[in-house]
Chains A and B, each alone.
Chain A
Amino acid sequence: MTASPLFDAAMIETILLTLRLAGITTVVLLLVGTPLAWWLARGGGVWKEIVATVVALPIVLPPTVLGFYLLIAMGPHSPLTALLGRQLSFTFTGLVLGSVIYSLPFVVNPIRNAFEAMGPRPMEAAATLRAAPLDAFVSVALPLASPGIMTGAILGFAHTVGEFGVVLMIGGGIPGRTKVLSVTIFDYVETLQWPKAHVLAGGMLAMSFVVILAMMLIERRLNGGRR
């Protein structure tokens, strides 16, 4: 067995692909999750609870179950494929879609909590000061909920970087297209390249530590900085 360097082109490719996937997913998550969180925090009716439950499902479902249904939904015979005219399974776009659904609760919940903690008063005050609803949302609700939005973004990013089951089911692990970090670590371990597995696994561990620390600091600011 030849000694390979700890870093090789394939590894860099994997890391960049993972960061690109997590980055795009996070942006989509914020664009979808923020209005959804607002509706869940402010809206009413039975629909709200049903939608909230659907959004929360990925927290309890085994990723393989979610991945299985997503694979079918993106497969050759699904209505989605017919609608789009192309198959999303085993593509980067498919991975983004799957990641968004998988990580949605981790983004929506902190943002929803932040909107709920704000209470109705700031929006009422904004309305009495001539701000139309969208204006008030942008200039009052979003800044007040920014710690929650920040937490949601960090969680969504980290969760997407770390996902394995869903990605394996719908992405398959094609190098340069769908082979992300977690899948690569699994491959390294299977092929007994433990030093490389150490590099990636250690990097993930350090990143996770930083992420959780950052979140706790943000939370402390959220609770302590205001009254």
Chain B
Amino acid sequence: MIEAEFRGQLGGFALAAEFTAPGEGITALFGPSGCGKTTVLRAIAGLLRLPGSRLSVNGETWQDGRQFRPTHRRAIGYVFQEASLFPHLSVRANLTFGLSRVKGPVRIGEDEVAELLGIAPLFDRPTRMLSGGERQRVAIGRALLSQPELLLMDEPLSALDRFSKDEILPYLERLHAALSIPVLYVSHDIAEVERLADTLVLIEAGRVRAAGPLAEMLADPALPLIHMPQPAAVIDGEVVGRDTKYGLSEVRVPGGVVVVPGDLGPAGLRRRLRIPASDVSLGRHAPLDTTILNALPARIEGAEPAGGHQMTVRLRLGPDGRGAALLARVSLKSWDRLALKPGELVVARLKAVALAEPAPSAALAPPAFAEGRG
């Protein structure tokens, strides 16, 4: 559990950010550039000292009115926007820089990190011979090996090109699944947040606008996320079956079972689905003849004007309307013609369902062209 309250002057506005983040999973600090999210992360690391602020991590006070724990005594791992490897050290020496200074027990070992991040082949290379994506993977490994209780990541992908981003994202998802360390992840890219985050802290002009579970925040009518040009629902589910004849997998989500193209792995595996609002249409009855695989009962919670004579309809899956949040983008004309109302039971037809992340086998083999020196 991370409890933070930071105050200070930040360029043109006052920083007054107060939030709590869970002691597990990935919490995204999300907001436009210059909103203060990096400042908050630096303050959590102790790289920036904001008097009059408070911070406690897992019950330990790191900063309050009387005390300020210096950065080197905070059990954090910090991944900067640029890898910031030490150029005078080899990859191996970079990786063990923090590890060799840890006084307590070692929970995350070199082999585990090398395996998780696929960096064993890089160990004996000089850092300048690494591509951008490789450098950032080594930087993440270096941070993990310093045995952090809290991993801080400051837009770790934003300095990378598209290919290197796609190379690293699967590794971040693996870390998420394999390690229990809580992560604070600063980003201004909603696509990254949708793939990685469990919890979202929305920051605007130095203040926390809202904080909560990602799936709820994406569908909250009071927040700007639902009003983005391409809103989407993110639903976490569990693989419950596969149909090898048709190459389909079944994923149980709160309020229903969704059929997803492709082999999503063995039953029991947790997978995240991303369903864009524009891929969901609504009807009063289950379709009789259709090529659409997924037609799920859902209850309407409300609807927001989306501009361009369209509406973004908020739904909850399941006949009882207690399942996962779902968004549907429908034309204003259809909305009026069907005269749908909040509370009404409808059938949501999903034109396309995709994993928020690519399938594991394809994702973990980085494409050859991503090896270029960047």
Contacts and interface: CB of A to CB of B under 8 A. Distances in A.
Interface stretch (B84-92, B108-116, B220-228, B326-334): B84-92
Contact of B146 (A121, A122, A129, A227): A129
B80 A121 contact: yes
B180 to A, nearest CB: 20
Given A143-B88, A227-B128, A124 B101 contact: no
Interface stretch (A75-83, A87-95, A130-138): A130-138
Nearest to A142: B88
Interface residues of B, number: 25
A125 interface: yes
A130 B86 contact: no
Interface residues of A, number: 22
B102 A128 contact: no
Given A124-B84, A125-B86, A144-B86, 6 more contacts: A127-B46, A129-B101, A129-B142, A129-B146, A131-B97, A140-B88
A131 B72 contact: yes
A128 B128 contact: no
Interface of B: 45-47, 70-73, 76-78, 80, 82, 84, 86-88, 97-98, 101-102, 128, 142-143, 146, 152
Given A122-B84, A122-B86, A129 B97 contact: yes
B71 A127 contact: yes
A54 to B, nearest CB: 30
A127 B143 contact: no
Given A129-B142, A226-B128, A140 B86 contact: yes
A135 B101 contact: yes
Contacts of B87: 144, 226-227
A131 B101 contact: yes
A125 B80 contact: yes
Contacts of B78: 124-125, 128
A140 B86 CA distance: 7
B82 to A, nearest CB: 8
A126 interface: yes
B84 A121 contact: yes
B77 A128 contact: yes
A132 B46 CA distance: 13
A130 B72 contact: yes
Nearest to A122: B86
A128 B97 contact: no
A173 B70 CA distance: 54
29 contacts: A121-B80, A121-B82, A121-B84, A122-B86, A125-B86, A126-B86, A127-B70, A128-B45, A128-B47, A128-B71, A128-B72, A128-B77, A128-B78, A128-B98, A128-B152, A129-B72, A129-B142, A130-B72, A130-B101, A131-B97, A131-B101, A135-B72, A135-B101, A136-B72, A139-B97, A140-B86, A144-B87, A146-B88, A225-B128
Contacts of A227: 87, 128
A130 B77 contact: no
A122 B128 CA distance: 15
A143 B93 CA distance: 14
